[in-house]
Amino acid sequence: MVSIDLTAIRCPLALVKVKLALKQLEDGEVLSVSLSDIGSRQDVPRFLKKVGYRYSEVCNDENMLTIKISNLR
């Protein structure tokens, strides 16, 4: 599993970093992403749904969203 902490980064840069990380994943690999910016917390899941990535929320509270993204689309 690859993990990236983007809690210090705001959208749209966080979304760009997620896209770049997804391009580097091997088949079957999982990417864990932590986000705190409200825009990123909305935009990243919206993007993942749009392009067909499977993901699950690990943590979603008032401070942070952590999701695991599967490279199986």
Write the DSSP string, 37-73. Answer: SHHHHHHHHHHHHHHT-EEEEEEESSS-EEEEEES--
Would you state the pLDDT for residue 57?
96
Domain 2-71 annotated CATH 1.10.3720.10: no
pLDDT category at 71 given cuts 50, 70, 90 is: confident
Domain ranges of the chain: 2-71
Catalytic status, residue 11: yes
pLDDT tens-digit profile of 8-51?
Answer: 999 999 999 999 999 999 988 999 999 999 999 999 999 999 99
pLDDT category at 55 given cuts 50, 70, 90 is: very high
Q: Which of 2, 4, 9, 11 is catalytic?
A: 11
Would you state the pLDDT for residue 69?
97
